[in-house]
C-alpha cells in the first residue's frame, strides 16, 4: 500500500472511529432522555387516571349508578398498572412480563415500554431518579388507600347500609389523598426533569472533551492533508459536474462564470453561452427587494444558508429555489467571487402548503368535535336532570291534577331529549353514510314528515300550504332530503307567532337540473344580527329557545353533502323563508340502493 493510500486510510479510519463514537454517545444520551420523558409522560397518564377516578367516584356517590363506578375502576386501573410494573421491577429477579402487563394497564405506549423496563434498574444509581422512585412508591401507597376507600363506599351503597354523613366523610378523606397525590406527582415530574438536566450536563461535558480532542486531531490531519490539495482539484471538478445540486461560481459583480449541468437545467439554460451576462442578483422575481437583501446578508455574514426565493427561469416560468452561497475575499478584503448551490423546492413548498391546509382543517375539526362533545353531553344531561327532579316531586304529590301537570312536563323533557338524540343520530349518519340517489316523492315525504310532527306542541295550530311542480323524476338522497324537511318544518312550528294564525307554505319546483324548495312561514322571524350565525353548531338565536341548536347546523351539513345551497331571508315578527337549491343526481343501480330501515341507529 502506497504512503498516500495509507494516510488516506488512516484519516478515514480515524474519522469513522470518532464519528461512530459520537453517534454512539448521542444515541445513548438520547435513549436515556427519551426514557426519562416516557416516565414523565407516564406520570401524566397516572395523574389523569387518578383524577378521573376520583371524579367518577364522586359522580357515583351522587347518582349511585353502577356505570360511574365501573368508569372509576377503568380509570384507577392506570395508576394501579404503574404500581404493578414498579413492584415487578423491584423484585430481586425482576418479572419483566408482569411489568409489561402493568404498563399495558397503565396505557403506556408499546414503543416506550422496553426502554422503561430496561433502564429502570439503573435509576437507583442516580440520586434524582432514586428520589423519584421513592416518591412513586409513596404515591402508590396513597392510591391503595383511595382504592380501599372506594371499594368500601361501593359495598355500602350497593348494600343500602350507609348514611350521607359516612359518604361525605369518606369522600373528604379521598379528596385529601387526592391532594397529596397531586403534590407528589408534581414532585415526581420536577425530580425527573432534574435528572434529565443532569444527564444532559454529563453528556455535554463528555462531548466537549471528546470534540476538543477531535478538533486537535483534525487540526493535525488537516496540516498533513494540505500537500494533497492540488490532487483534489480534479476530483472537485468531477463533483462539480456530477452533483445533483445546481452549483455556481460568480464574479465580484455577481455575473455567473461557471454553472454545472444541474444548475443549467434548474435555471432553464441549454447553452453555456446563455449565462455570460446573467447575474445571481437578477434571477429573482422580486428583483429590487430580494437582490438588496441578498447582497446585504452576504456582506454582513459572508454567507447565506437555506435562503428561499422565487426565481425566474430562462423561459420565464417561476420556481421556488433554495440558495446557499459564500463570499470569497482577497488579502485586502475585497470580494473576488461568490460560490454556492441552488435547489428547486417548488414541490416541497406545495407539499408544505397542502400540509398546512390539512393541519388547519384538522384543528378546525378537532375544535368542532370538542365543542360537539361538550355541548351534546350538557344538553343530554339537562332534560335528564329535569326529568329526575320531576319524578321525585311527582312521587311526593298526592293531588291527581298536579301530578298530571308534572307528567306533561316530563313528556316535554323526554321529547326534548328525543329530538337531541335524533339530531345527533342524523348528524352521525350524514357524516358516515354514503350519498345514494333515489327517486324522491315529495308529496309522500312531506306527508310523512308532517305526520311525525303532528303531536308536536303547536303543530295543529299551524296551517300547511303545499305547492309542487315537477318536471320528471328528481333523484337525490331520500334520507338526507327528509332531514332538511323535518328540521326546517319543526323550527317553523316551534317559532310560530302565537298572536296570529300561523301558516307554513312549502313550494317545490323540479327540473332536469335540480330542485328549488322554498319554506315560508309567518312566525317570529330572526333578527338581522343572528342571520349569519344560525347555521353554527349549537347556536341558539334566543335564550328562550328549547331546541338543541343542532337542527339548522345539520341542515347546512346535509345540503353541503348533497352539493346544494341554502339561503335565508327573515324579518322579526314577519316570518322567515328558506330557499334550498339541490342538484339532481344520477340514479344508482338497483342493487346498490338501500333502505332507511337498514341504516345503523
CA distance 510 to 568: 20
> For residues 21 and 8, what is the distance between their CA atoms, to the nearest angstrom?
20
Question: For residues 500 and 241, which has the higher predicted lDDT (pLDDT)?
Answer: 500
Is pLDDT above 80 for 418?
no
Give the E-state strand segments of 470-594 in sequence order. Answer: 475-476, 502-510, 514-521, 565-571, 575-583
pLDDT at 402: 80
Among 281, 282, 261, smallest CA distance to 271 is for 261
Using CA atoms, how far apart are residues 306 and 185, in angstroms rounded to an integer? 44
Which is more confident, 420 or 196? 196
Q: What is the pTM of this model?
A: 0.38
Residue 467, classified by CB atoms within 10 Å of its CB into exposed (0-12), middle (13-18) or buried (19+), is exposed
Q: Do the Cβ atoms of 248 and 256 come closer than 8 Å?
A: yes
Beta carbons of 502 and 521 less than 8 angstroms apart: yes
Instruction: Provide the phi-psi class of 392: left if phi over 0, else alpha when psi is between -120 and 50, else beta.
Output: alpha
pLDDT digits (tens, 9 = 90+) for 534-545: 888 766 655 455
Does 583 score more than 50 pLDDT?
A: yes
Please check the confidence at residue 448 and state whether its pLDDT lies above 80: yes
Q: Tell me what the mean pLDDT of segment 282-299 comes to.
A: 76
Report CA dihedral (166, 169, 174, 179) to the nearest 10 degrees. 170
Residue 152 exposure: Cα atoms within 13 Å on the Cβ side: 15
Q: Please write the tens of the pLDDT for every residue from 21-37.
A: 777 777 777 778 788 88
Asked if residue 509 has pLDDT above 90, the reply is yes
CA distances from 439 to 195, 473, 511, 512 (A): 69, 6, 13, 13
Q: For the purposes of burial, counting CB atoms within 10 Å of the CB of 310, is it exposed (0-12), middle (13-18) or buried (19 or more)?
A: middle
Residue 522 confidence (pLDDT): 94
Whether 594 contacts 429, CB under 8 Å: no
The string of pLDDT tens digits covering residues 199-254 is 888 878 887 887 787 778 767 766 766 666 566 666 767 877 778 788 888 888 88
Cell of 131: 428520589
467-480 residue pLDDT tens: 999 998 999 999 89
Please determine, for residue 442, whether its predicted confidence score (pLDDT) is greater than 90: yes
The region of weakest confidence among 202-206, 394-398, 568-572 is 394-398
Dihedral sign for Cα atoms in the order 396, 399, 400, 405 = negative
Phi, psi of 559 (to 5 degrees): -60, -40
Strands (DSSP E) contained in 411-525 are 438-439, 462-469, 475-476, 502-510, 514-521
Distance CA 489, CA 463 (A): 12
Residue 333 per-residue DSSP state:
S
Give pLDDT, residue 597: 39
Residue corresponding to grid cell 422575481: 285
Letter string b/e over residues 330-361, b meaning 16 or more CB atoms within 10 A of that residue's CB: eeeeebebbebbbbbbeeebeeeeeeeeeeee
Percent of the chain with pLDDT over 70: 83
Q: How far apart are CA 287 and CA 310, in angstroms?
A: 10
Give SS3 for 65: coil
Residue 491 in contact with residue 526, Cβ under 8 Å?
Answer: no
Buried b (16+ CB within 10 A) or exposed e, 495-506: bbbeeeebbbbb
Tell me the three state secondary structure of residue 561: helix
d(CA 471, CA 451): 26
Mean residue pLDDT of the chain comes to 81
pLDDT band at 262 (very low <50, low <70, confident <90, very high): confident
Name which of 299, 289, 345 is nearest 320 in CA terms: 345
Amino acid at each position: 500500500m502506497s504512503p498516500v493510500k495509507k494516510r488516506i486510510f488512516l484519516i478515514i479510519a480515524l474519522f469513522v472511529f470518532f464519528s461512530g463514537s459520537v453517534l454512539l454517545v448521542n444515541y445513548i444520551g438520547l435513549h436515556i432522555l427519551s426514557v426519562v420523558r416516557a416516565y414523565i409522560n407516564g406520570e401524566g397518564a397516572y395523574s389523569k387516571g387518578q383524577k378521573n377516578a376520583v371524579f367518577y367516584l364522586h359522580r357515583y356517590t351522587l347518582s349511585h349508578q353502577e356505570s360511574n363506578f365501573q368508569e372509576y375502576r377503568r380509570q384507577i386501573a392506570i395508576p394501579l398498572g404503574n404500581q404493578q410494573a414498579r413492584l415487578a421491577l423491584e423484585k430481586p429477579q425482576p418479572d419483566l412480563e408482569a411489568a409489561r402487563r402493568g404498563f399495558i394497564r397503565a396505557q403506556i405506549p408499546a414503543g416506550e415500554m422496553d426502554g422503561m423496563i430496561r433502564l429502570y434498574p439503573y435509576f437507583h444509581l442516580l440520586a434524582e431518579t432514586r428520589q423519584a422512585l421513592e416518591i412513586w412508591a409513596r404515591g402508590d401507597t396513597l392510591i391503595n388507600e383511595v382504592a380501599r376507600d372506594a371499594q368500601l363506599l361501593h359495598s355500602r351503597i350497593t348494600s343500602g347500609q350507609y348514611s350521607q354523613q359516612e359518604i361525605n366523610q369518606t369522600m373528604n378523606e379521598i379528596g385529601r389523598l387526592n391532594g397529596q397525590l397531586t403534590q407528589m406527582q408534581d414532585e415526581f415530574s420536577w425530580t425527573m426533569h432534574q435528572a434529565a438536566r443532569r444527564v444532559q450536563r454529563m453528556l455535554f461535558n463528555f462531548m466537549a472533551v471528546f470534540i476538543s480532542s477531535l478538533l486537535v486531531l483534525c487540526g493535525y490531519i488537516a496540516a498533513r492533508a494540505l500537500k494533497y490539495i492540488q490532487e483534489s482539484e480534479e476530483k472537485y471538478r468531477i463533483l462539480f459536474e456530477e452533483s445533483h445540486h445546481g452549483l455556481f461560481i460568480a464574479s465580484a459583480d455577481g455575473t455567473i462564470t461557471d454553472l454545472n449541468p444541474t444548475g443549467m437545467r434548474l435555471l432553464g439554460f441549454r447553452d453555456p453561452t446563455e449565462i455570460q451576462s446573467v447575474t445571481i442578483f437578477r434571477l429573482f422575481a422580486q428583483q429590487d427587494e430580494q437582490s438588496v437583501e441578498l447582497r446585504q446578508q452576504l456582506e454582513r455574514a459572508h454567507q447565506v444558508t437555506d435562503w428561499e426565493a422565487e426565481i425566474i427561469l430562462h423561459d420565464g416560468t417561476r420556481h421556488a429555489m433554495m440558495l446557499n452561497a459564500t463570499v470569497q475575499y482577497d488579502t485586502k478584503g475585497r470580494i473576488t467571487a461568490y460560490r454556492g448551490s441552488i435547489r428547486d423546492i417548488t414541490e416541497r413548498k406545495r407539499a408544505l402548503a397542502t400540509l398546512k391546509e390539512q393541519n388547519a382543517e384538522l384543528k378546525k375539526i378537532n375544535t368542532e368535535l370538542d365543542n360537539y362533545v361538550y355541548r351534546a353531553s350538557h344538553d343530554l344531561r339537562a332534560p335528564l336532570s329535569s326529568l329526575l327532579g320531576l319524578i321525585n316531586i311527582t312521587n311526593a304529590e298526592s293531588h291527581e291534577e298536579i301530578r298530571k301537570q308534572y307528567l306533561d312536563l316530563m313528556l316535554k323533557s323526554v321529547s326534548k331529549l328525543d329530538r337531541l338524540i335524533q339530531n345527533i343520530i342524523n348528524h352521525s349518519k350524514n357524516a358516515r353514510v354514503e350519498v345514494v340517489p333515489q327517486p324522491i316523492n315529495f308529496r309522500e315525504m312531506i306527508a310523512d314528515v308532517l305526520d311525525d310532527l303532528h303531536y308536536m306542541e303547536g303543530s295543529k295550530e299551524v296551517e300547511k300550504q303545499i305547492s309542487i311542480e315537477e318536471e320528471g323524476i328528481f333523484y337525490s338522497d331520500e334520507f338526507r332530503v327528509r332531514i332538511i324537511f323535518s328540521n326546517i318544518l319543526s323550527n317553523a312550528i316551534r317559532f310560530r307567532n302565537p298572536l296570529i294564525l300561523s301558516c307554513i307554505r312549502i313550494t317545490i319546483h323540479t327540473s332536469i337540473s335540480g330542485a328549488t324548495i322554498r319554506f315560508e312561514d309567518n312566525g317570529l322571524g330572526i333578527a338581522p344580527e343572528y342571520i349569519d350565525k344560525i347555521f353554527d353548531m349549537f347556536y341558539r338565536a334566543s335564550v328562550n329557545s328549547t331546541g338543541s341548536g343542532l337542527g339548522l347546523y345539520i341542515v347546512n351539513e346535509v345540503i353541503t353533502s348533497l352539493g346544494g345551497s341554502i339561503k335565508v331571508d327573515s324579518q322579526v315578527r314577519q316570518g322567515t323563508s328558506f330557499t334550498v337549491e339541490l342538484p339532481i343526481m344520477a340514479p344508482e343501480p338497483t342493487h346498490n340502493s338501500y333502505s332507511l330501515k337498514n341504516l345503523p341507529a
